[in-house]
Structure 1
Amino acid sequence: MLPVALQHVMVMYAGAIAVPLIVGGAMKLSPAEIAYLVNADLFAAGIVTLIQCLGIWKFGIRMPVIMGVTFAAVGPMVAMANSGLGLTHIYGAVIASGLFTVLVAPVFGKLVRFFPPVVTGTIIAVIGITLLKVGITWAGGGAKAADFGSAQNIGMATLVLVVILAISKFGRGFLGNVSVLVGLIVGYLVAMPLGMVHFDHVNEASWFSAIMPFHFGLPQFEIGSIISLSLVMIVVMVESTGMFLALGELCKRKVDAEDISRGLRTDGIGTVIGGVFNTFPYTSFSQNIGLVGMTGVRSRWAVACSGVILLIFGLFPKMGAIIASIPQAVLGGAGICMFGMVAATGIKILQRVNFESRTNLLIVAISVGLGMIPMLAPDFFHSLPSWTAPLTHSGITLAAVSAVLLNAFFNRAQTEEEIEKELMHSAHSAGAE
């Protein structure tokens, strides 16, 4: 369980620490304060991951879901910082938007009937394609790397990818389950003598850091900031719904309205926990869905173990700094494999769709096209009001909204009985094959 759990943490770590680094920089915090934000982020991520995986009362989807800070909130939070609002105002908005999410989660949970295979397949495929951009950027060495796309970076990503593929083909049992971890370790060991691994942050990191509630002061509640982050959380819930359905597909488990409600409530309570412990809104990390597909390990207990590791990393920063020293080119080799797996899962779901109907082709075509806009033309919506950014800057959200609305227009929303019948038919067809 421990190697599988560590594998999940290594995959999500770069994304997990990026948001506190960005917001801390925008707030002009000292290096020590930014380091505290990172530690608090890992600590809270561990707590929320445990709730999501294990479940407490009506919280937690009880599936292998790892939680991390959402990038969707970065723009509004940086805007708050640039307008002169302090961290306490941001945390007030974070807590309030989290409570808002908890309250509306049951309503979102009932929208599952608007997500037949033509919608879920499209959304999941777009999630994978969007993530592939991240994996390719890692493989090149990172977005701001001076040697981006160098032969060394591409060679390192290729080495990791080859190791993962070789183990996936020839490995059996436990070894096959940790193919990504082995690939990352091999890449890391090869990168060290090549001078690609730097231990400066490891040496600077403290051995222990206590994470205290309201470290930066009591939260302050400003209505404009609360509305802004509440809109972000609506976007987060749309994306999370698609991710839960994708994970259900990989875990061979039907995800119903109550499952989605419990998962979304955890996004909300996790965001409240984030505000209390000096960090930001939380969501399900889509990077790790691909890892479930790659390894075939569907155990929620393994990812709960990842939550414990994140807790430890938050309290013992030097351990987390070691993981942070993994070169991005090494992560890229694994990322291409895992994120492509998410896209392939979406394509697999679309195989169930009746494409003899031209309207279904239109739903997929238009939704995928809209989902690609933020990735292929980032400035496409630059003339729209700033409050639309959470929607227009997310290809996943654009694709989800488009697919749901077009399906409702062409096919109308399915009843629960129709969904059950379609799922039974799909399962029967898969069994026959």
Structure 2
Amino acid sequence: MASAAPPSRHPVDAVPPLAQLGAFGLQHVLAMYAGAVAVPLIVGGAMNLPPADLAYLITADLLLCGIATLIQCVGFWRFGVRLPIMQGCTFAAVSPMVLIGTGGGGLPAIYGAVIVSGLAMILLAPVFGRLLRFFPPLVTGTVILIIGVSLLPVAGNWSAGGVGSDDFGAPGNLGLAGFVLLVVLAVQRFGPAFLSRIAVLAGIVAGMAVAVPLGFADFGGVGDASWLGVSTPFHFGAPTFEWAAVLSMLVVALVIMTETTGDMIAVGELTDRRVEPRALADGLRADGLSTVLGGVFNTFPYTAFAQNVGLVGMTRVRSRWVVATAGGILVLLGLLPKLGAVVASIPAPVLGGAGLVMFGTVAASGLRTLATVDFRGNHNLTVVAVSVAVGMLPVGVPEIYAEFPDWFQTVMDSGISAGCLTAIALNLLFNHLPGGKRELSGPASDSAGESTLAEPVVLPPQRAEKTVEEARIERG
């Protein structure tokens, strides 16, 4: 008797050859590097830290980015969603941390609040896991669309030379970004299968080949960087716990968990591995652990990096071990500052050209998910329209909430969290709460974002009999 064939391994768990692991992993690192170092630069710059302390924050951040990514992708016990998800410092925490740091508390007060928020995330993870039923395709597709569209201005700023650069918007910057974009598209269209999967990396390499002789790249920081750097616990002093700082960071923790939920569901859609409540709780618990480690090792709260979600969708490389390899590269960059300085020398326009493709891919993935939703005779179009509008407000008008309280700004200044919360609330209002006005012309379906708690649809007698018969067959 022939033995049964072994079950096929899901692409998420597949391990590509070593050479592909390195190339794919490096591509993920290059896609997120600028965003990864931005948070320590912004917070440290606002606090007027000396260059040596800024460099220390950056290397510590890269090290913890790598460790957090490994926890999320590889996982252990009940920590880690085990999907191809890169981790990085969240921008949602920037404003509260700047206020804490410049308000007299300094870095020790920031790290005390970060540690408490991380512990809170670990404790709240199971609660968020049970809320997964409120994320049907109507909500997830809207959130993925908002994630992609809200990231496009980041790619635009990179393409123009980077915010604050002296030559922002110069034709040369935009021309370099356009060249990288064309290379990425050409490799995807005409390159062999393997090369098309590293189209972003190929575009960045080609962009650097043009940028260096034209004087776009600055390698001055490479010579000044040390070869070895190790982040030690509480380098800036023992953490302090101030109630106002802790409360503000607890609000940030809720925002992080909301954003991470959207990112994990997006990656689950792209990799064809549905995120179940237990897996979501494990992923959020990993975020909390990484955030606690961040407070101990002199860095900040961690979350899933939306920048890399688009890369997964664009390259169709779904292996979590590829992203785990990227995490290992980040650990090396954190331990070897000179290597980090080499990566940091990549000009912003080169990253911008690649970012336009990646972030646009995220938005397109959201549209693909929304294509499965039924918009006929219901309020689903209103849910999408209002959610996208609210999510885009802080992106298009960054100062729109400047006169509101700090806690409100923390939640609503992120277009991702604002749009996600709006989509959840409107889906509950129109599709879950009983007694609401219904305009359904046919049976509700999960793919349309309708709730099983909605008022039943009265079927014609013939269809009702058929449904009863089908149910009898299913029961056997």
TM-score w.r.t. the length of structure 2 is 0.86
| Structure 1 counterpart of 2:67 | 47
| Structure 2 counterpart of 1:76 | 96
Mark the structure with the bigger radius of gyration. 2
Could you say if the C-alpha distance between residues 421 and 342 of structure 1 is closer, same or farther in structure 2, counting changes exceeding 3 Å? closer
Q: Which moved more, 1:4-13 or 1:374-383?
A: 374-383
| Structure 1 counterpart of 2:122 | 102
Is the 1:363–1:406 contact (alpha carbons within 8 Å) kept by the matching residues of 2?
Answer: yes
Residue 167 of structure 1, aligned match among 165, 187, 195: 187
Residue 221 of structure 1, aligned match among 206, 229, 241: 241
| Structure 2 counterpart of 1:150 | 170
Written as runs of structure 1 = structure 2, the 5 A alignment for 1:60-139 is 60-139=80-159
1:293-342: per-residue Cα shift (whole Å, max 9, x none)?
11111110011011111110001001011110001000011000000000
Unaligned runs of 5+ in 2: 1-20, 435-444, 451-476
Q: How far off is 1:19 after superposition?
A: 0.8
| Structure 2 counterpart of 1:377 | 397
Which residue type is aligned with residue 355 of structure 2?
A: G
Q: Which moved more, 1:294-303 or 1:379-388?
A: 379-388
Unaligned runs of 5+ in 1: 424-433
More helix per residue: 1 or 2?
1
Whole-Å Cα distance in 1 between the matches of residues 286 and 358 of structure 2? 25
Could you say if the C-alpha distance between residues 45 and 396 of structure 1 is closer, same or farther in structure 2, counting changes exceeding 3 Å? same
1:175-221: per-residue Cα shift (whole Å, max 9, x none)?
12111001000001100011000011111111111211111121111
Runs of 4+ in 1 over 4 A off after TM superposition: 418-423
Which residue type is aligned with residue 380 of structure 2?
A: N
Which residue type is aligned with residue 89 of structure 2?
A: V
Whole-Å Cα distance in 2 between the matches of residues 42 and 413 of structure 1? 45
| Structure 2 counterpart of 1:56 | 76
1:232 maps to 2:232: no
State the structure with bigger RCO (CA 8 A, min sep 6), 1 or 2: 1
Q: Which moved more, 1:333-342 or 1:377-386?
A: 377-386
> Identity of counterpart residues, as a percentage?
52
Is the 1:113–1:413 contact (alpha carbons within 8 Å) kept by the matching residues of 2?
Answer: no
Q: How far off is 1:369 after superposition?
A: 0.7
Residue 372 of structure 2, aligned match among 325, 343, 352: 352
| Structure 2 counterpart of 1:23 | 43
Is the 1:7–1:181 contact (alpha carbons within 8 Å) kept by the matching residues of 2?
Answer: yes
Q: How far off is 1:381 after superposition?
A: 1.8
Whole-Å Cα distance in 1 between the matches of residues 257 and 308 of structure 2? 17
Q: How far off is 1:173 after superposition?
A: 2.7
| Structure 1 counterpart of 2:430 | 410
Equivalent pairs counted in the alignment come to: 421
1:241 maps to 2:270: no
Q: How far off is 1:129 after superposition?
A: 0.3
Q: How far off is 1:421 after superposition?
A: 11
Which residue type is aligned with residue 306 of structure 1?
A: A
1:14-41: per-residue Cα shift (whole Å, max 9, x none)?
0101111111122222111110110000
Whole-Å Cα distance in 1 between the matches of residues 394 and 241 of structure 2? 31
| Structure 2 counterpart of 1:38 | 58
Q: How far off is 1:144 after superposition?
A: 1.3
| Structure 2 counterpart of 1:397 | 417
Residue 366 of structure 1, aligned match among 386, 404, 427: 386
Q: How far off is 1:170 after superposition?
A: 1.5
Could you say if the C-alpha distance between residues 421 and 83 of structure 1 is closer, same or farther in structure 2, counting changes exceeding 3 Å? closer
Whole-Å Cα distance in 2 between the matches of residues 422 and 154 of structure 1? 41
Residue 181 of structure 1, aligned match among 182, 201, 204: 201
Is the 1:157–1:329 contact (alpha carbons within 8 Å) kept by the matching residues of 2?
Answer: yes
Whole-Å Cα distance in 2 between the matches of residues 190 and 249 of structure 1? 36
Is the 1:7–1:178 contact (alpha carbons within 8 Å) kept by the matching residues of 2?
Answer: yes
Is the 2:431–2:449 contact (alpha carbons within 8 Å) kept by the matching residues of 1?
Answer: no
1:3 maps to 2:23: yes
| Structure 1 counterpart of 2:281 | 261
1:104-153: per-residue Cα shift (whole Å, max 9, x none)?
01101111111111111111101000001101111111111222222211
Indicate the SS of the match to 2:131: helix
Q: How far off is 1:419 after superposition?
A: 4.9
Q: How far off is 1:413 after superposition?
A: 7.6
1:310 maps to 2:330: yes
1:226-273: per-residue Cα shift (whole Å, max 9, x none)?
111010010011111111111011101111111111111111000001
Residue 217 of structure 2, aligned match among 197, 212, 236: 197
Residue 349 of structure 2, aligned match among 329, 341, 354: 329
Whole-Å Cα distance in 1 between the matches of residues 98 and 57 of structure 2? 15
Residue 386 of structure 1, aligned match among 396, 399, 406: 406
